[in-house]
Amino acid sequence: MRARRRTCEAGVGMTLAATRRKPSLRGDGLGTVLLFLPPALLVFTIFVVLPIGEASWFSLFDWNGYGSPQHFVALRNYVRLLAFVPFRTALLNNLLVIAISLCIQIPVAIGAASLLSGPGRLTVVMRLILFLPYILAEVAAGLIWRFVFDGNFGLVAVAARELGMNAPFMLADPDLARVALMVVVTWKYFGFHMMLVLAGLQGIDPELRQAARMDGATGAQIFRHVTLPLLRPTLRVSVFFAVIGSLQLFDIVMPLTAGGPGNATQTMATFLYNFGITRMKIGFGSAVGVVLFLISATFSIVYNRWVPGER
């Protein structure tokens, strides 16, 4: 009885000691928050909140960037923007890039990652080859593909002539230029999504597939009912990056087409640069930036709130 009582007293003492230590742990956590949160908030305020606030303020003026804004026009820049045909074209191009990314780029990346998920030197080499375009700088990739699509000396022109066809000037035709842009975007960012899916596949326990195979499931059934549900968190991240990246598409468009011909390949980011900054219409360009920010922020909030990452 005495031994049991001593054991109970020791247990109670340990519980009380742990309870007494909780306030000190909370104090340490509060100190960590007070140490690291203010610098992060300061950086976020300087580089995010203040520029957004300034752009919102400048968008209410007809301002060329010199001096202080004086000519207040309220929401007239936004009205002009929504009625401007090149901006609607840019918005449609962004939506088209999103559709291509979700319907072609990510599914192909899933297929390639499934084929290259096994061990072996050849699979490692193939992963590296398919990932190399993503490592290449966007400007360099745009310049390379601009030469590839050149109607006089490009590889596409040479191949067409070898087949006895007229060499197409793809970047001079609005429809073909749009197709060329979609090809380059798919080629450039395909490897990024493939590596994300590969990381997700490597995190799946192989015994789950083996158990399904022993139960008589086919390869397609295993992929549909085992692999895809377990890949849902990875695909959620991949889709998020695909949409946000498509909305911000700029670097690869400028060296490839600069938004032409005839504004056929403008995106919202290139439209902001071409019609806002280069033409010294800072108020109008700020309105474009605010619209782009609102679209991106709305998608981010809705997506992270309503799209589940797991079952």
* CATH number for the domain harbouring residue 81: 1.10.3720.10
pLDDT > 70: percent of the chain: 90
Domain encompassing residue 19: 1-40
Single-letter code of the amino acid located at 33: V
**What pLDDT shows up at residue 26?**
54
Is the domain of 302 the same as that of 224? Answer: yes
User: CB count, 10 Å around CB of 79?
Assistant: 12
pTM value surpassing 0.75: yes
16-71: per-residue pLDDT in tens?
Answer: 444 444 444 455 677 787 888 888 899 989 998 899 999 999 999 999 888 888 89
Tell me if 80 is assigned to some domain: yes
129-177: per-residue pLDDT in tens?
Answer: 999 999 999 999 999 999 999 988 888 888 888 888 888 899 999 999 9
Is the domain of 223 the same as that of 106? Answer: yes
Above 60 in pLDDT, residue 12? no
Q: What is the mean pLDDT of residues 256-282?
A: 92
C-alpha pair distances (Å), 270 with each of 60, 93, 94, 287, 293: 21, 11, 11, 14, 14
User: Residue 39 CA to chain centroid, in angstroms?
Assistant: 26
Single-letter code of the amino acid located at 57: W
Tell me if 221 is assigned to some domain: yes
Tell me if 49 is assigned to some domain: no
Residue among 243, 150, 229 at smallest CA distance from 189: 243
Which residues, 6 or more positions from 64, have their beta carbon under 8 angstroms from its beta carbon? 280, 281, 282
What is the total count of domains within the chain? 2
- Helices 174-202 and 138-148 pack at an angle, to 10 degrees, of 130
Q: Are 178 and 265 in contact (CB under 8 A)?
A: yes
User: CB count, 10 Å around CB of 43?
Assistant: 10
Is the domain of 88 the same as that of 17? Answer: no
